[in-house]
Chain A
Amino acid sequence: MAKVLVVDDEPNIVISIEFLMQQAGFDVVTAEDGESALARVAEGAPDLVLLDISLPGISGFDVLERLRADSDHARLPIIMLTAHGREVEREKGMALGADDYITKPFSTQALVEKVKTLLAEAS
């Protein structure tokens, strides 16, 4: 069963995504800041990461950069999930190697579809 890592500092958002992913049949691990997100990846590589940008401590961009710098996770599917709606931020995320960029608030169906598609491509 595919494992999805959800990184967000808003507890309610984590709960909702966790529920959606479990409903779609994935294992879920969560993290509420950048440091613990990196720790979760190190503990056992997830198959996909849903990554918020505004996080306490190191930001989502930093997490993305570090994961991409590591050859083990160069191809790990990562979806940026953020309330920052500006075009420059989207471009920055894509340039740093994100696979997709979804702005909040998001459509739950679209999110689940996107996760499924990326996981299928990866395997």
Chain B
Amino acid sequence: MAVLGIAFGYLGLLFVIAAWGDRRAEQGRSLIGSPTVYALSIAVYCTAWTFYGSVGRAASSGPSFLLIYLGPTLAMLMAPLLIRKMVRIASAQRITSIADFISARYGKSSSLGALVALIALIGITPYIALQLKAITLSHAVLVNYPQAADMRLVDESFWHDKSFWVALVLAVFIILFGTRHLDASERHEGMVAAIAFESLVKLVAFMAVGVFTVFVLFNGPGDLFARVAATPELAGALSLEAVPGGAVGWMGTLVLAFLAFLTLPRQFQVLVVENVDERHLKRASWLFPLYLLAINIFVIPIAMAGMLLGDISGNPDSFVLTLPLSAGLDGLPLLVFIGGLSAATSMVIVETIALSTMVSNQLVMPLLLRSRRLQLGSRGELAGWLLGIRRVAILLILLLGYLYHALIGDSYSLVTIGLVSFTAAAQFAPALLIGMYWRGANRKGASLGLIAGFLIWAWTLLLPGFAQSGWLDPGFLDQGPWGIAWLRPYAMLGLEGWDIYTHSLLWSLVANVGLLVGISLFSRQSPLEQTQAALFTEAMHPGLMETSLWQGQTTRGELRLLLDRYLGANATARVFSRPDASEDDLPAPPALISRAEQALAGALGSASARVLINSVVRGEALDLDAILSILDTTSETLEVNRRLEQKSNELARASEELRSANERLRELDRLKDEFVAMVSHELRTPLTSIRAFAEILHDSQDLPEEKRRHFLDVVVHESQRLSRLIEEILDLARLESGRLTLNPQRLDLVILARHSLDAVHRLQENRGVDLEVDISLDTAWVVGDPDRLEQVIINLVDNAGKFTDDDDPRVLVRLERHKDHFRLAVEDNGPGIAEGERERVFEKFHQIKHSGSQARGRPKGSGLGLPISRGIVAHLGGRLWVEDAPHLGGACLVMEMPEAPAAEPEET
């Protein structure tokens, strides 16, 4: 009894949370305006099936349980594309359920809506039964342990069956806070808050068992896995090969979970109908997959532990309970029971609310409206009726679930029932998803596809389930009906060896999609269907949804009367901006008609709302042409905007380019100024000497002969220097503008180097420089301009000679092969060049600073030799750089030229 007391206490707590959530919503301080609450409410996906069944499935089929969670993860990753569109359509059309969504898409068809509602009812009831079973089973395990729980409770009278009472209590609970408002498209804020809370409870409970199992029963994951590895029959059970149906089974389960996540009525409810802000999808798209990861992380360890402990843990579906029970604990099993209860009740609550909305709006209301037996005109308000219908529906759905559980629930494990329901819900996917993207999909195709898919599902999964419960003769499973082998439920058309769910999903979807597409291609849509199809497929088109689609005529008074009758005075007042009836004789504007229809759709579903509006409005709704022209106008505006934006982008880019070009020009101009200043400085220096000595020679007639000769020498020398400088500047200008003419030819660098060195030898000797040559190669064929290369070599040696050590000036020239290159290195024994200076020596007019004593008597360079040399070498495909001299310790300039291709015939 204590356990039951706690369970009821937990339900009471839920009720308090729900009531609080509703109160806050009424005060305008919504609890659920948060993406985190939204993500947690989506976790209603994890039911008792997850809580108890994942471990059971892991124990029997290895890691295949994970696919059930990978599917939704995939769907949530696509949320910005797919679910956002669903949310936008639903809020524009005031959609109340997935049946309403599909009905609205196909011309607000009431028959299609009814079909979806019926399939949902049949397909989902087992799933509700599964939750009831989980609650009673877990309770029995908790109370009876260590005796095995006897689940044949159906043999007793239902009066003693706890499942019955659980169902009844839940029904009351759901009626109390699931049908507080008439408008089903208005959010059940209290319910969502309670569901989010339940998601936290089940996560905490499950992780508590996981931590207990891994770290208390065993010494951490290492210990657990080691013990499994030591038990051969277990090691295989959890490997990938244990998944039924192999690779096909993997794919099938993944697709199944992906589709069911979008189409299960409760998922559609929390994902789409209860969404308050489509931006919440952003956080939910990673938070929900994270939740799934967290709740799955301990599944395999718990399954392993349960199997290792063998007898004391019993049925794998109950491992989460029996493991802590076997350790003799009291508190933890109770927490687990509450966790399972939260998983089960959250599913039952949302599923029942979603189903009851469908039953009232898609099944009962259209019938009532059509039969006219219910003198609606005279009955006044219908609001009470609608709520009544929904409440009765809730009760009936739960009793149906109980009945299913009581009659055949024992023959399936938790997992199996879940997958049967998944496959049924997946039948909605073609009509839903194709309808959102293909305007041509029509009502006839969708209806026939759904019927075919449903029939195949019933034949391949539902009836075999009945047969295995002993309700039907199981003979048709093996032999086929009347002995027709290709109709065998588990091997349709001879397809054998697949797991039954993938098999059923394949055939039902093939028939479903085939009929939807095939029939849509060959039949026509009604005008309203065309309109709705356009509105659904173009839902992301800005501005379209706000368009008013009514062109018919009616008065405000007639509309007011209609709304009053069905929604009551309060809801009517919200639709009409003016509360008094003073303008009731005036014609109603199209926007008002649309608002009225939306308000009705929110309560009754789109199909019924359409029927009612049609009863007072004369004239048709906007037809497809009108919609298309609206679409075209908006597309044209968009196109013009897009072009304008493109133009302004181009302008911005052009002005940016201009700006940077201008900057480059200014920089070039600055460099040019600097260059001119440097050139003029360099030219002025020899010119100064020339002019001074020329004037001295001119003015001083009585100079001694020796002085006169000396001065004349200087003039000649400085003139030569000036010419050389001008030559260099011209070379540089040609190099930089790319106009330097080179005559590349095959030449032997050995011969060229010796020749060049002969030319400078005398000069260096005069300066007292010891010039060593180390060339051991016989030949070194390169492609180059001999005159220019000689110029480079002379320049390098000349340069080195200026930086040698004062006391013992030495220069060493080496020519070596390096892979497929030849390197001519010119070393000196001077002070070397600091790392940071090594690239700067190749800048124009860069002068290496001599310290005081070294400057004496040394000829100064122009600062152009090295940049010119580097330019020439680069033009010939080689490189020139500075490094440390390996032999003499000073600087070393290295010229590297690629080896010439193999000799041509005339040279050999």
- CB contact under 8 A between A83 and B685, given known A15-B714, A56-B855, A107-B695: yes
| Contact residues in A for B687 (Cβ distance below 8 Å) | 104-105
The answer to whether A16 touches B850 (Cβ under 8 A) is no
Knowing A33-B852, A33-B855, A57-B852, the reply to whether A13 touches B684 (Cβ < 8 A) is no
Residues of chain B with a CB closer than 8 A to A36's CB? 852
User: Do A105 and B855 touch across chains, with their CB atoms under 8 A apart?
Assistant: no
How far, in whole Å, are A11 and B714 apart by their CA atoms in the complex?
A: 10
Contact B695 A108 (CB under 8 A): yes
Contact, CB under 8 Å: B714 / A12: yes
Let me know if B855 and A108 touch, CB within 8 A: no
B862 proximal to A (CB < 8 A) = no
Please tell me if A96 contacts chain B, counting CB pairs below 8 Å. no
* A11 and B696 alpha carbons, distance in the complex (Å): 16
**Residue A29 interfacial (CB < 8 Å):** no
Residues of B within 8 A of A13 (CB): 685, 688-689, 692
Q: Which residue of A lies closest to B710 (CB)?
A: A15
Query: Do the beta carbons of A105 and B691 come within 8 Å of each other?
Result: yes
Residues of B within 8 A of A106 (CB): 688, 691-692
Evaluate contact between A84 and B695: CB separation under 8 angstroms. Answer: no
A23 at the interface (CB under 8 A from B): yes
Are A108 and B696 in touch, CB under 8 angstroms? yes
> Do A56 and B690 touch across chains, with their CB atoms under 8 A apart?
no
Q: Which A residues are CB-close (under 8 A) to B685?
A: 10, 13, 83, 104
C-alpha gap A95/B690 in the complex (Å): 31
User: Chain A CB within 10 Å — which of B692, B711, B849, B860 has the most?
Assistant: B692
Residues of B within 8 A of A107 (CB): 691, 695
Residue of A nearest to B850 (CB): A56
CB of A35 within 8 Å of the partner chain: yes
Do B696 and A83 have beta carbons less than 8 Å apart? Answer: no
Please tell me if B577 contacts chain A, counting CB pairs below 8 Å: no
**Are A9 and B696 in contact, with the CB atoms below 8 A?**
no
User: Are A32 and B696 touching (Cβ within 8 A)?
Assistant: no
| Whole-angstrom CA separation of A32 from B689 in the bound complex | 16
| A21 CA / B387 CA spacing, docked (Å) | 121
In the complex, A36 Cα to B851 Cα: how many Å? 12
Find residues 829-862 in chain B having any chain A CB closer than 8 Å to their own CB: 849-852, 855-857, 860
Assembled-state Cα–Cα distance A20/B849 (Å): 29
Tell me, rounded to whole Å, the shortest Cβ–Cβ distance linking A23 to chain B: 7
How far, in angstroms, from A32 to B850 measured CA to CA in the complex?
Answer: 12
Residues of chain A lying within 8 A (CB to CB) of residue B852: 33, 35-36, 56-57
Output the least CB separation between A50 and chain B (Å).
12
Interface size on B, residues (CB 8 A): 29
**A13-B721 Cα distance, complex, nearest whole Å:** 14
Q: Please judge, given known A-B contacts A83-B684, A104-B684, whether A12 and B718 are in contact too, CB under 8 Å.
A: yes
A33 to B695 CA separation, bound complex (whole angstroms) = 26
**B15 in the interface, Cβ–Cβ < 8 Å?**
no
Contact B855–A104 (Cβ < 8 Å): no
Query: Are A84 and B681 in contact (CB-based, < 8 A)?
Result: yes
A85-B695 in contact (CB<8A): no
* Alpha-carbon gap, A33 to B690, bound state (A): 22
The residues of A that contact B692 with a CB separation of less than 8 Å are 13, 16-17, 20, 105-106, 108
**B725 nearest CB across to chain A (Å):** 13
Q: Is B700 an interface residue (CB 8 A)?
A: yes
Query: What's the Cα separation between A56 and B847 when bound, in Å?
Result: 10
Tell me the A91-123 residues at the B interface (CB within 8 Å): 103-109
Residues of A with C-beta under 8 A to B717: 12
* Contact present for A56 and B688 (CB under 8 Å): no
A-side contacts of B718, CB under 8 Å: 12
Whether B681 lies near A12 (C-beta < 8 A) is no
Which of B688, B699, B851 has a CB less than 8 Å from the CB of A105? B688
With both beta carbons as reference points, the residue of chain B lying nearest to A89 in the complex is identified as B677
Distance between Cα atoms of A85 and B687 in the complex (Å): 14
Q: Mark A10-49, 1 if CB is under 8 A from B, else 0.
A: 1111011101100100000000110110000000000000
B714 neighbours in A (Cβ, 8 Å): 12, 15-16
Complex Cα spacing A105 to B690, Å: 9
CA distance A17 to B695 in the complex (A): 12
Given the known interface contacts A16-B696, A105-B687, A105-B692, the answer about A56 and B681 at a Cβ–Cβ threshold of 8 Å is: no
- In the complex, residue of chain A having the shortest beta-carbon distance to the beta carbon of B707: A19
Whether, in the assembled complex, B225 has its beta carbon less than 8 Å from a beta carbon of chain A, the answer is no
A10, chain B: closest CB distance, angstroms? 6
Residue among B680, B695, B711, B851 facing the most chain A CB atoms (10 A cut-off): B695
How far, in whole Å, are A103 and B687 apart by their CA atoms in the complex?
12
Considering the chains assembled together, what is the distance between the CA atoms of A76 and B852 in angstroms?
A: 25
Given A104-B687, A104-B688, A108-B699, does the pair A16, B856 have CB atoms closer than 8 Å? no
User: Mask for B705-737, Cβ within 8 A of A = 1, else 0?
Assistant: 001000100100110000000000000000000
- How far apart sit A83 and B692, CA to CA, in the bound complex (Å)? 14
Which B residues between 81 and 134 are near A, CB-CB below 8 angstroms?
A: none
B707 proximity list for chain A (CB < 8 A): 19
Contact A12 B689 (CB under 8 A): yes
Q: Given A32-B856, A57-B852, A108-B696, A10–B684 Cβ distance below 8 Å?
A: no
- Chain A residues whose C-beta falls within 8 Å of the C-beta of B680 in the assembled complex: 83, 85
Taking CB atoms, residues of chain A closer than 8 Å to B689 are: 10, 12-13, 16
Query: A109–B691 Cα gap in the complex (Å)?
Result: 12
Asked if residues A86 and B677 are in contact (CB atoms below 8 Å), the reply is: yes
With A19-B696, A83-B684: A56-B849 Cβ-Cβ less than 8 Å:
yes
Determine if A23 and B700 form an interchain contact, defined as CB atoms under 8 angstroms apart: yes
Bound Cα distance from A59 to B739, whole angstroms: 37
Chain B nearest CB from A121 CB (Å) reads 24
CA distance A23 to B852 in the complex (A): 29
Query: Does B404 count as interface, using CB distance less than 8 angstroms?
Result: no
Which residue in chain A gives the minimum CB-CB distance to B692? A16
A33, B853: Cα distance in complex, Å: 10
CB neighbours of B677 from chain A (8 A): 84, 86
B645-683: which residues lie under 8 A (CB-CB) from chain A?
A: 677, 680-681
Q: Are B684 and A85 in contact (CB under 8 A)?
A: yes
Contacts of A33 in B (CB 8 A): 852, 855
- Inter-chain CA distance A32–B718, complex, in Å, is 19
Tell me, in angstroms, the Cα distance from A86 to B680 when the chains sit together. 10
> Smallest distance from the beta carbon of B764 to chain A beta carbons, Å?
20
Q: Is B693 in the interface zone, CB < 8 Å from A?
A: yes
**Chain A residues, CB < 8 A from B690:** 105
Contact residues in A for B860 (Cβ distance below 8 Å): 9-10
A31 shortest CB reach to chain B, Å: 10
Q: Smallest Cβ distance from A43 to chain B, in angstroms?
A: 16
Known A23-B700, A108-B699; contact A16-B855, beta-carbon cutoff 8 A: no
Complex interface bits, B364-377 against A, C-beta within 8 A gives 1, otherwise 0: 00000000000000
Nearest Cβ on chain B to A123's Cβ, whole angstroms? 26
A83 to chain B, nearest CB (A): 4
Nearest chain-A residue to B700 (Cβ)? A23
Residues of B near A86 (CB, < 8 A) are: 677
Which residue on chain A has the smallest CB distance to residue B698?
A108
Return A92 CB to nearest CB of chain B, in Å: 14
Q: Indicate the member of A9, A13, A16, A104 with the most B CB atoms within 10 Å.
A: A16
Taking CB atoms, residues of chain B closer than 8 Å to A35 are 852
- Known contacts being A83-B685, A105-B688, is A20 close to B855, with CB within 8 Å? no
Q: Please, how many angstroms separate the alpha-carbon atoms of A7 and B852 in the complex?
A: 13
Give the chain A neighbours of B696 by CB distance below 8 A. Answer: 16, 19-20, 108
Instruction: Enumerate chain A residues within 8 angstroms of B691, measured Cβ to Cβ.
Output: 105-108
Report how far A12 CA is from B714 CA in the complex, Å.
7
Given contacts A13-B685, A86-B677, 10 further A-B pairs with CB under 8 A are A13-B688, A15-B714, A16-B689, A16-B714, A33-B855, A56-B852, A85-B680, A103-B684, A105-B687, A105-B691
A and B contact pairs by CB, cutoff 8 A, 10 listed: A9-B855, A10-B688, A10-B860, A11-B857, A12-B717, A20-B696, A83-B680, A83-B685, A103-B684, A105-B684
Going nearest first, the 10 A-B pairs with the smallest beta carbon separation are: A83-B684, A16-B692, A104-B688, A12-B689, A105-B691, A105-B688, A108-B695, A83-B681, A105-B687, A104-B684
Spell out A's residues near B (CB within 8 Å).
9-13, 15-17, 19-20, 23, 32-33, 35-36, 54, 56-57, 83-86, 103-109
